[in-house]
Structures are given as structure tokens and as C-alpha cells.
Amino acid sequence: MFHIIGVMGPGEGATPDDEQNAYELGQLIAQQNWVLLTGGRNAGVMDAACRGAKQAGGLTLGILPSRDRTTLSSAVDIPIITDMGNARNAINVLSSDVVIACGFGAGTASEIALALKARKPVILLNPNQQTQAFWMNLASGNLFIAKTPIEAIEISQSILKEKA
Amino acid sequence: MFHIIGVMGPGEGATPDDEQNAYELGQLIAQQNWVLLTGGRNAGVMDAACRGAKQAGGLTLGILPSRDRTTLSSAVDIPIITDMGNARNAINVLSSDVVIACGFGAGTASEIALALKARKPVILLNPNQQTQAFWMNLASGNLFIAKTPIEAIEISQSILKEKA
Amino acid sequence: MFHIIGVMGPGEGATPDDEQNAYELGQLIAQQNWVLLTGGRNAGVMDAACRGAKQAGGLTLGILPSRDRTTLSSAVDIPIITDMGNARNAINVLSSDVVIACGFGAGTASEIALALKARKPVILLNPNQQTQAFWMNLASGNLFIAKTPIEAIEISQSILKEKA
Amino acid sequence: MFHIIGVMGPGEGATPDDEQNAYELGQLIAQQNWVLLTGGRNAGVMDAACRGAKQAGGLTLGILPSRDRTTLSSAVDIPIITDMGNARNAINVLSSDVVIACGFGAGTASEIALALKARKPVILLNPNQQTQAFWMNLASGNLFIAKTPIEAIEISQSILKEKA
């Protein structure tokens, strides 16, 4: 079985920094021989992370909210078509061994919350103080903070080592 | 068609204040002839809100995460059995005309986030400053703050009036 | 808690007979003070059953596949908005105490199959021989055949009595 | 993007013939460099198909109904954890380019029905006459019959060629 790392972040609302970070995360995840999981859409963090992983020769899973395959990132190898809208966010986090949040928006917040609820390890990439403090209050030892994509990968490595 | 008001809040993690507020919300919702929607479990805010609504002669919907009906609040009139875990949180908010968050936990946070994402009106009942500030940053005009259950009902009334 | 009776059948593919039967089922269910559950759409069996139940003063639940409320039957009192397409068929049957299949189509077949899998009692209304034989092979004592809407109600009564 | 072929069939209710056919289907799918998708459980057709695919060096996806990873086939490379019970059957068929039904049971019948509803191509492997006739009545040109695993693969090849 492969390790599956979920990268969660906004679609249309992603900033250029979010997309750059997502691209690097995708590359680094692929270099670890981990499978990248995203929400699958051809926008923002989802698309950038998948493109990064493909550039580095990785395998990409996209858990698509709709049935409309024109919304799918062309860098997804394996599309899972849920047709269940944002209820698929629960599947995103349950299927990931580690969840990395890259950028913020309401959809990403729902994924962080669902992951904390399911006691999945969550890494926030470079959050502002307010965001960090808010989630820390809801977590129970399963929330981590990374300043850079590389640090997020290092934290993921130790999480996966502990689980093994 | 009835107006459906969702009251979202923690189960086992609810404080006595949360449960008291939920009970009052249930009563007030029933007095408005609105239908109360909760996550349906026999715990915390879900159970207290349903009991309040029944005490005031209201109608209660419970969107249960599991198939196990022993987890259902006895104050639910109409159980919807989803068997889809916390993915049902998306249904909770999509089916509510107004979402009221009463108390906090990771599950409740996921419901607030999913509601904001779906552009549903959300009322936070008596949040602390950090929580209020966090959600305000993610909302787009659809987030309201109430100090008391009565104020939450008044805000709901004006939201429903505007929609009508 | 109310008894919830699910009436499942085609939307656009319903025959005039299917719709007539569905309307009568809705009326009879309401006269028993049971709650009617359907797939909620403003088409075919779903719409006809809800209209029948409202004509007789009943309460109607519609479990809608999409987020688009323009697809909702105007005879639904309580819409549950799933936005999960035909995956909502699983919720339809899990939430029903008895499932009555009225007319046939691929969607209805999926609901019969999911109900048999979940060991819910299923009543086929006036099936042809081939259909009856096919489902009998998959059922385990939880499949019943009714010639008329009235007979379907009588069978439902004995099922509910046994459960009580 | 890979071609994804779904093999659907019973878990505990599978016959030795079903499992033998599933194993061969898994092998043949892997030899085509297609990805195998199953319901992911460590039982019956799901497990046998995954084992066959792994024996032939293929890649296997398992769309698991529960959160309990002890129910997962050890021959699944990529588990998708839905925690949504049999509602996940809708995801199984939407995510498959071709659906092959191998053996019969209520769960499999729900997948065939959901696939026909979604206008996915469905291949029934060696059905009896009654079963074949029943599904033919519900299909609209998207149902195929194969006598052997090899014939199912040949039909899949022509379906994929037509789509391309």
C-alpha cells in the first residue's frame, strides 16, 4: 500500500504564493514516492499540486466533487468521481494519511475541521497567527505547523514513521 | 414548505451553557413554527435543541451520521439515516435555511465552513473574539453574530424575510 | 417518532399508471398518519406521491439529489438537500421503515437493491413476472408483492405491527 | 490519465466460480495496463480481483464503505476511505470507465442499476437468462454480455476505443 498525502487548498481563491507552495509540495511528495491526493479540480492549489507531482514523476489522485470531467485537472492520473459536492471533503481527509493545508478558504477550513474530527494528522503550511490559534484550540495533539513545503514534508515523514 | 433552521453544535463536548442555549433555541424555533434540524444524535447540543423544540410542540428533523438508531435522540420526530459519517454535515447545512452554531468543536467548525462555502446564512451564538474574527475572514456577508438565543431568532427572522 | 414510508419510482420515465398508483399511495399513506418519503423531484412518481399525500393532509419529505431547488416538487413539505446525486438513493431507503417500489427504471432498481442489501422491507407494486422473479432471488424474506396501492398499505401495516 | 475498470461482485456471498472469474479479470485488467477499481473489502470478488491484478503487476483502487481499515483487502494499493456505506456504490460506478459485474447479490445489483442510470457501459459476466433479460429491459444500449473474463476484456477494449 502507498502512503497517501492530501494537499488541501482553495481553487479559484488561491493566491500565487499558495499555488507556488502547492506545486513544491506536489514535487516533494512525488520525490518521496508518496501518492498525492487533492480535490481534483483544474484550479488553484488542487491543480498546482498535481502539476508539481507529475513534473517529478509522481502518481496523483483527484477526488472530484462533480460528475463534470471538464472540471478535472489534467494532471490527475486517477480521478475518483463522487458527484457529491463538498460532502466529498470528508473522503479527501479520511483517505489521506497526512493532510496538508496550503492556503485558506471556507472549503479548506471544512477539510481541516473534518480531519481534526477524524483524528487525522493535519499540517498547516505557514498560517497566520489568528488561524493557527483558532485551529490549535480545536485540535488534540494532531495539528502541526510548517513554515515551508520542505518542513511540511519533514513533519509528514515523522508522522508516517510513528505510524509504521 | 416549512422553514428549516439548523442548530449545529457539539455532542459529547458540549458545555452546560451550550446545552442550555440549544434547549432555548429549540423552544424558540418551535414557537416560530419553524422546523428544527440537527445532527440527530442523543448527545449535547443536538439532543438539547430537539428536546427544547418538542417541549414547545415543534417538529424535529435529525440527520443521523450512522445506521445505528440507538444513537438517535428520542426527541427527533423524523430521523434521516445517512450512514455517511461526518459527510452528512454537508447535508445538514444544505438543508437548513439558516444555520445557527451553538458551542464549538471540530464537527461544528466543519459545518460552519461548509455553510459559508455553500453561501448559507450562518449565525454564531456568543462566540469568543478569536472565533468570531477567524470566521469573519472566511465569510462573504453571510455571517452574523448573536449574543443570545433570542437574538439568533431575531436575526433568523430578518434573514427569512429578506429571502421571501 | 413518525413512521416513514418511502415511495420509489421513476421521474421522467413514469407511466400514467405509475403516477396514478403513486398518487393513491400518497393519499393512503397520509390517511394512516405516516410520513411520505420520496426522492423529492418534481417529476413522475416522486411528484405524484407527494401531491396525493398533500391532498389527504399528510406530511411529505423529499430527499433531493441536487442543490437546485427548482427541481423540487412543490408538494414536498420538508426538502432534504443532499447534492449527492444518486448516492442519495441509499439515504432514501435507510430512512424509510418500508420501501414501496411503484414503477420501474434504473434508479428505482438501485433503490430496491440497496433496500434489500440493508434488509429493509420492500414492497413491489404490481411487478411483471420477470421483475418479481429477479428480485425474489436477491431477497431474504424481506420482499413483498402487492397488486394494488391498498394492498401495499395493508402489507405495510403488518410490517410496522411486527416491528412494534 | 489511466483507464479505470470496475469489477463489482459480492463479498461474503461470492461463489468459488465468481472468485476464480474475478481473479482472472484482475490479471487481465492489469495486463492491459488498466487500473482495477473494486469496493475494496477483503472478501469475495473484491479481494479476488485485487489479488489477480497484483499477481500480474497491476495497480488497484479500493473504494471502502467503512472507516475500518481492517476490512480492506491487502491487495489494494490505493484505498479510498468513504465511510458512507453502500452509498459508495455510486462512486464505484461513476469512477469506472467500464463496469464489469461478476457474480450477483443485492449490492452488485445496486451497482449495475446505478451504472445503467449514469449511462456507464456495463458488462455482465455469464449471467443467467433471467438476470440478463431483467437488466436488458432497464438498459439503453449500454449493457453487454460476456461469457468469459477474456470476452469481458475484449468488450472493454472496444468500448474504450470508441470513447477515445
Beta bridge partners of A140: none
pLDDT tens-digit readout, D64-87? 999 999 999 999 999 999 999 999
Question: How many Å lie between the alpha carbon of B14 and the closest alpha carbon of chain C?
Answer: 25
Query: Tens digits of per-residue pLDDT, B31-40?
Result: 999 999 999 9
Query: Strand, helix or coil at D71?
Result: helix
Return the SS3 of D50: helix
Query: In a mutagenesis test of the A interface, which of C83, C89, C110 is the best target, namely the one with the most A β-carbons within 10 Å?
Result: C83
Q: Report the pLDDT averaged over residues A22-44.
A: 98
Predicted confidence at residue D140, as pLDDT, reads 85
- Classify burial at C43, counting beta carbons within 10 Å of its beta carbon; exposed 0-12, middle 13-18, buried 19 or more: middle
Cell numbers at A28, concatenated: 516533494
- Contacting residues of B for D82, CB less than 8 Å apart: 84, 87
D66 in contact with A at a CB cutoff of 8 Å? no
Q: How confident is the model at residue B140 (pLDDT cuts 50, 70, 90)?
A: confident
Residues in chain D with CB shorter than 8 Å from the CB of A118 are 67
Specify burial of residue A161 (Cβ count, 10 A radius: 0-12, 13-18, 19+).
exposed
Measured between CB atoms, does C127 come within 8 Å of chain D? no
Q: How many CB atoms lie within 10 A of CB A156?
A: 25
Q: How many CB atoms lie within 10 A of CB C148?
A: 14
Mean pLDDT, rounded, of chain A: 97
| pLDDT tens profile D104-119 | 999 999 999 999 999 9
Based on the number of CB atoms within 10 Å of its own CB, is D19 exposed (0-12), middle (13-18) or buried (19 or more)?
Answer: buried
Q: Do C71 and C46 touch, CB atoms closer than 8 A?
A: no
pLDDT at D76: 98
Q: CB-based contact (8 Å) between C132 and chain D? A: no
Ranges of chain D with pLDDT below 70: none
Q: Chain B residues with CB inside 8 Å of C71's CB?
A: none
Interchain contact, D76 vs A2, CB within 8 Å = no
Q: What angle is formed at CA A139 by the lines to CA A136 and CA A144, rounded to 5 degrees?
A: 65
Cell numbers for D55, please give them: 499477481
Does the CB of C137 have a partner CB in chain D at under 8 Å? yes
Phi, psi of C105 (to 5 degrees): -175, 175
- Using the beta-carbon criterion (under 8 Å), do B78 and C76 form an inter-chain contact? no
Question: Model's pTM, two decimal places?
Answer: 0.97
CB-based burial label for A60 (10 Å; 0-12, 13-18, 19+): buried
User: pLDDT tens for residues A49-83?
Assistant: 999 999 999 999 999 999 999 999 999 999 999 99
Look at residue A27 in the predicted model and tell me its pLDDT: 98
Task: Look at residues B108, B111, B94 and name the one whose alpha carbon lies nearest to residue B9.
Answer: B108
Which residues on chain C are in Cβ contact (under 8 Å) with D130?
Answer: 130, 133-134, 137
Give the pLDDT confidence score for residue A1 in this predicted structure: 77
- Answer yes or no: is pLDDT of A28 > 80: yes
- With 0-12 / 13-18 / 19 or more C-beta atoms within 10 angstroms meaning exposed / middle / buried, residue C30 is buried
Q: Which residue of B has its CA nearest to C34?
A: B78
Chains with 3+ CB–CB pairs under 8 A to D are: A, B, C
- The pLDDT value given to residue A164: 78
According to the model, what pLDDT value does residue B164 have?
Answer: 78
CA–CA dist A147, A104 (Å, integer): 15
Closest C-alpha among D80, B131, B66 to residue C91: B66
CB C48 within 8 A of CB C22: yes
| pLDDT, position D164 | 78
Q: DSSP class of residue D57?
A: T
Q: What is the pLDDT of residues C140-157, one digit of tens each?
A: 889 999 999 999 999 999
Average pLDDT over residues C120-147: 95
Distance (Å, rounded) from C-alpha D108 to C-alpha D101? Answer: 7
Closest residue in D to B82 (Cα–Cα): D84
Helix residue spans in chain A (DSSP H) = 16-31, 44-55, 88-94, 106-117, 129-138, 149-163
- For residues A19 and D98, what is the distance between their CA atoms, to the nearest angstrom? 34
Q: How far is B83 from chain D (nearest CA, A)?
A: 6
What are B125's strand-pairing partners? B146
Select the residue from B91, B98, B99 to test the C interface by mutation, using most C Cβ atoms within 10 A.
B91
How many separate helices (H) and strands (E) can be counted in chain D? Answer: 6, 7
Q: Do C86 and D114 touch (CB under 8 A)?
A: yes
- Asked if B87 and D83 come within 8 Å (Cβ–Cβ), the reply is yes
Contact of B83 with D88, CB cutoff 8 Å = no
Candidates D88, D106, D137; nearest CB to C113 = D106
Q: What percent of chain D has pLDDT over 70?
A: 100
